[in-house]
Chains A and B, each alone.
Chain A
């Protein structure tokens, strides 16, 4: 059986000051997952995470898998989907509500 191709990954974290979920766009952290850039080099992503945490901009940096749908990354796991949108039981809160 052939091993499935690994899914692309993007980098996310929490903003140090606000705790807000943010994504690495390639040049800066953004609140919008649609602006996230795919990780091309795992070692570089690790190094970037360490640098950004040391710079006190973010905490808890980690990568996760996504599927690109119409060019937009969609988290493969439900946990990251909830994180990118907001609580599924409070659609009036979080990024899904335009906050």
Chain B
């Protein structure tokens, strides 16, 4: 993975020193809260329902074992022994003290981590496929480009005060695990008919109060023009994005209001102008960055691996876990392992300091010290020898992280909701816990089902993209939940459709159970929930829920 150079270290350490000074001046009364708030937010420090919350960036969801150990240390030393992995591949701490935040950031900097641009109207953490560099599906590893974008966007003076926050996601595989069409810019690296590799550029996607699927702005962008073209998009948005209305400030609204054709024309004009002066990074720079993402030294392993196959045949629980949590690796004899942070009844995305330490040790032992964070709030060990899978599974069981539910009903995305978030109108986590408990007994026979829950219209829980989406709202001071069906964040991206009137907390859990029961009676063979929904529409589910 990428290693900071002297310049990276210098700017991050300088930022820590600067924030330490800002905190001291705030406490001493030299800075008002109005002056200080944007400064703390630029360093990822929010004020939430119970305390300060720090959001730490995990660039493109890639962590080393040492970094994960540091995150565990921070949970122990500055928080309450746990943290929360988010839908943007970041991590959040919920109980931070202002005076301790600079020391915390200094600790993070020691392992080349920071909280810069995890808030504010700037280019946020770049996200990508959690299987990058491990899956055979991809045409190239997208992370060098993500790192290039990270460096380009960090402290970019022109893009530090955009009309609104800006999210970019990349993938290099046809199976989209990064929800690229639901980002301000989505980038898909692919090989065209003539064998050249380049980017399909999507623009104007997003969730929130106005969900829109990103549109193709450029069908094929040669890699050589990667940054210049993104700069052209950013400039058009920065110049014409609405600053008069926060609800209309995202690029998706600009694209919608201008129309794709006119937006495209403006970007092309800007791009033509940029090319007179903009210097793409020299090839040697991308090569320098790419060198940090070369394959680890894989062993040559003959397959099939008898011990692994035998363990699957003789241990059904292990076999179930492999079936759900283990994916094909590009290297023969290796697998990609998803560690579910969704044990039934537990809080989606939360991990204790002890669990983080153990996963770091397992990454050292089994996965070249490499850990990934998924936008579905799970962790990944990307390079595990098949011969080691059984031992790994047993060790995960010891720390309560061997749930065999990836992609099933209890693998629920849930935002922190009103248990932590000051913006939320309703709780998300207890709804997720209750649904998981209710559906766990039938989830294997139900098959793939993605349930996503947000505690407010901002949609951090991606409810618009849920096969079953749940949105918590405030109805005359009471929590109320709207159900919607048919969303997807994958390559077949769709937005979910509201089913009907909302429910209270118990009611929505009952309604979800009825929807799943209905699905199980009408599905054909091994049809996924989403495919059944697309075949039959809302009618049978409405009937099941509302009678």
Is B433 an interface residue when CB atoms closer than 8 A count as contact?
A: yes
Cβ–Cβ contact A77 & B51, under 8 A: no
Determine if A82 and B418 form an interchain contact, defined as CB atoms under 8 angstroms apart: yes
The answer to whether B98 touches A18 (Cβ under 8 A) is: yes
Q: Is there contact, CB below 8 Å, between A19 and B98?
A: yes
Instruction: Fill in one digit per residue for A1-43: 1 if any B CB lies within 8 Å of its CB, else 0.
Output: 0000000000000101111110000000000000000000000
16 more A-B residue pairs beyond the given contacts A16-B27, A78-B478, A94-B50, with a C-beta to C-beta distance below 8 A: A14-B47, A14-B51, A18-B51, A18-B98, A19-B48, A19-B95, A19-B97, A21-B49, A54-B32, A56-B27, A79-B425, A87-B50, A87-B420, A89-B427, A89-B430, A90-B347
Task: Report the minimum CB–CB distance from B289 to chain A (whole Å).
Answer: 38
Per the bound structure, the CA–CA distance linking A56 and B98 in Å amounts to 13
Q: List 17 A-B contacts (CB under 8 A).
A: A14-B47, A17-B97, A17-B98, A19-B47, A20-B50, A53-B33, A59-B47, A77-B477, A78-B477, A78-B478, A82-B49, A88-B427, A88-B430, A89-B427, A89-B429, A93-B80, A93-B95
Query: Does B354 reach chain A (CB closer than 8 Å)?
Result: no
The residue that A19 contacts in the complex, of B51, B425, B433, with Cβ under 8 A, is B51
- Top 3 nearest A-B pairs by Cβ distance? A19-B51, A19-B52, A87-B419
- Size band of the interface chain B makes with A: 20 to 34
Q: Is the CB of B98 within 8 A of A82?
A: no
CB neighbours (8 Å) of A16 from chain B are: 26-27, 33, 98
Could you say which residues of chain B place their CB within 8 Å of the CB of A86?
A: 50
Flag whether B29 is at the interface (Cβ < 8 A): yes
- Please tell me which one of the listed residues A18, A54, A83, A88 contacts residue B97 in the complex, with CB atoms under 8 A apart: A18
B347: A residues at CB distance < 8 A: 89-90
Q: How far is the CA of A87 from the CA of B425 in the complex (A)?
A: 14
Q: In the assembled complex, which residues on chain B have CB atoms less than 8 Å from the CB atom of A19?
A: 47-48, 50-52, 95-98
Whether B99 is near chain A, meaning CB under 8 Å from some CB there, is yes
Question: Which of B11-57 touch A at CB < 8 Å?
Answer: 26-27, 29, 32-33, 47-52
Please, how many angstroms separate the alpha-carbon atoms of A76 and B478 in the complex? 10
Query: Is A46 engaged at the interface, CB distance under 8 Å to the other chain?
Result: no
Instruction: Count A interface residues, CB 8 Å.
Output: 25
Complex-state Cα separation, A30 to B146, whole angstroms: 47
Kindly report which residue of chain A lies nearest to residue B347, judged by CB atoms: A89
> Can you name the residue of chain A whose Cβ is closest to the Cβ of B80?
A93
In the assembled complex, the CB of A91 is this many whole angstroms from the nearest CB of chain B, namely 11
- CA distance in complex: A57, B39 (Å): 19
Q: Known interface pairs A17-B97, A56-B29. Does A89 touch B51 (Cβ–Cβ under 8 Å)?
A: no
CA distance A79 to B439 in the complex (A): 28
Given contacts A56-B27, A59-B33, A88-B427, whether A78 and B418 have CB atoms under 8 Å apart is: yes
Contact between chains at B430 and A60 (CB < 8 Å): no
A89 nearest CB neighbor, chain B only: B429
Q: Please encode chain A, from 46 to 89, with 1 for each CB lying within 8 Å of some chain B CB and 0 for all others.
A: 00000001101001100000000000000011110011001111
Contact of B99 (CB < 8 Å), options: A17, A53, A82: A17
In this assembly, does B66 line the interface, its C-beta being within 8 Å of a C-beta of chain A?
A: no
Considering the chains assembled together, what is the distance between the CA atoms of A14 and B430 in angstroms? 25
Name the interface residues of B430-486: CB closer than 8 Å to any CB of A. Answer: 430, 433, 477-479
Nearest CB in chain B: distance from A3 CB, A: 15
In the bound assembly, the distance between CA atoms of A53 and B34 in angstroms comes to 10
Nearest residue, chain A, Cβ from B23:
A17
> For the complex, what is the distance from the CA of A51 to the CA of B479, rounded to whole Å?
34
Binary flags per residue of B389-425, CB closer than 8 Å to A gives 1, else 0? 0000000000000000000000000000011100011
Considering the complex, give the chain B residue whose CB is closest to the CB of A58. Answer: B33
Find out whether the CB atom of A76 lies under 8 angstroms from the CB atom of B27: no
Query: Chain B residues near A82 (CB, 8 Å)?
Result: 49, 418-419, 427
